[in-house]
């Protein structure tokens, strides 16, 4: 991303964002990244989507170039950060795309401020709460790292949960580049902890049926972090939502699906 970062203050907390692309006749798109993620993680997806519309990418509080305030954090608080950026830019309505925790934040925006959202796109996320499909026990092994390992080795093991073993084995150089890119960005352990606490408290299940916003749900069948069943449940509970199933794809769909996420999003936004 060559565009400079900007910041806006929300309750004394600096929130960093970038604006990509030019204003057009298309509604601007806000992209909200997930737990431990930073705006640079969107990589080619945000850049390509900005060819037809203005795109705003945000560092959630606690990560990247945003401040790391003391907790507790909540999805309501982080949704307020996004709304504050939108207000700062003078935007009345946006399309909203969220991944993982960012999808939970996007759901909160749609629930609390439906008049501000044109279309909603939820990638690899869930509604939270006790009825969400849990992570399989074997998938938690990715987070059991050797404390004596190098930073690269630790990041490499943790990031495996975002991909499939088949993709990593077939694309070792691409995976190495993703790990190195991850290490190049500021990812505060304290910020990640506060974000995790926010995720654990989410439960949008009962509020989703009230949504009337056109919604696209994208989910990989091999998502190790948020099981594919979560995408199915979202699509069932949000009225008239469309579900795009990505076969043999993991959590970070756009990093491994040869453009399928981008094509689905572009079709939905242009439709």
> In a 10 Å sphere around its CB, with 0-12 CB exposed, 13-18 middle and 19+ buried, how is residue 209 labelled?
exposed
Confidence band, pLDDT 50/70/90 cuts, at residue 104:
very high
Residue 156 has pLDDT above 70, yes or no: yes
pLDDT at 237 over 70: yes
Listing from the earlier edge strand, what are the strands of the sheet with 117-123?
6-10, 13-20, 55-58, 29-32, 94-99, 117-123, 215-220, 242-246
pLDDT given for residue 123 in this prediction:
99
Which band of pLDDT confidence, cut at 50, 70 and 90, is reported for residue 32? very high
Dmax (CA) for the chain in angstroms is: 53
Distance CA 132, CA 123 (A): 15
220 vs 242: CA distance, rounded Å: 14
Other residues' Cβ atoms within 10 Å of the Cβ of residue 51: 12
- 229: exposed, middle or buried (C-beta count within 10 Å: 0-12, 13-18, 19+)? middle
pLDDT band at 2 (very low <50, low <70, confident <90, very high): low
Residue 25: other Cβ atoms inside 10 A: 6
User: CATH code for 6-134+186-270?
Assistant: 3.40.50.1820
* Residue pair 118/93 in contact by the 8 Å Cβ criterion: yes
Task: Write the pLDDT tens digit of every residue in 62-88.
Answer: 999 999 999 999 999 999 999 999 999
Q: Are residues 161 and 143 in contact, defined by beta-carbon separation less than 8 angstroms?
A: yes
Domain ranges of the chain: 6-134+186-270
Query: 1-5, 163-167, 237-241: lowest mean pLDDT where?
Result: 1-5
> In this structure, what token pair is assigned to residue 229?
């069943």
Q: Which residues pair with 129 in a beta bridge?
A: none
pLDDT tier at 131 (50, 70, 90 boundaries)? Answer: very high
Average pLDDT score over residue span 171-187 = 94
Could you tell me the pLDDT band of residue 5, with boundaries at 50, 70 and 90?
confident
Q: Residue 105 — pLDDT band, cuts 50, 70, 90?
A: very high
- 9 or 32, greater pLDDT: 32
């Amino acid at each position: 991303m060559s565009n400079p970062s900007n910041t806006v203050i929300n309750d004394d907390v600096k929130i960093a964002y970038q604006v990509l692309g030019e204003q057009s006749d298309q509604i601007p798109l806000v992209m909200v990244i997930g737990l431990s993620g930073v705006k640079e993680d969107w990589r080619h997806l945000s850049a390509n989507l900005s060819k037809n519309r203005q795109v705003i990418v945000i560092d959630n509080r606690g990560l990247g170039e945003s401040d790391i305030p003391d907790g507790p954090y909540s999805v309501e608080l982080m949704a307020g950060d996004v709304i504050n950026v939108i207000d700062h830019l003078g935007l009345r309505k946006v399309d909203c795309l969220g991944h993982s925790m960012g999808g939970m934040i996007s759901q909160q925006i749609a629930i609390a401020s439906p008049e501000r959202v044109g279309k909603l796109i939820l990638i690899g996320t869930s509604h939270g709460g006790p009825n969400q499909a849990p992570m399989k026990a074997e998938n938690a092994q990715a987070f059991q790292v050797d404390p004596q390992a190098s930073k690269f080795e630790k990041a490499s093991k943790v990031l495996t949960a975002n991909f499939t073993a088949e993709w990593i084995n077939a694309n070792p150089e691409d995976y190495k580049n993703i790990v190195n890119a991850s290490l190049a960005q500021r990812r505060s352990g304290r910020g990640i902890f506060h974000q995790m606490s926010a995720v654990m408290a989410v439960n949008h299940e009962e509020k989703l049926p009230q949504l009337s916003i056109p919604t696209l749900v994208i989910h990989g069948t091999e998502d190790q972090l948020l099981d594919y069943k979560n995408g199915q449940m979202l699509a069932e509970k949000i009225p008239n939502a469309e579900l795009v199933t990505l076969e043999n794809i993991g959590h970070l769909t756009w990093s491994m699906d040869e453009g399928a996420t981008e094509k689905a999003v572009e079709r939905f936004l242009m439709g």
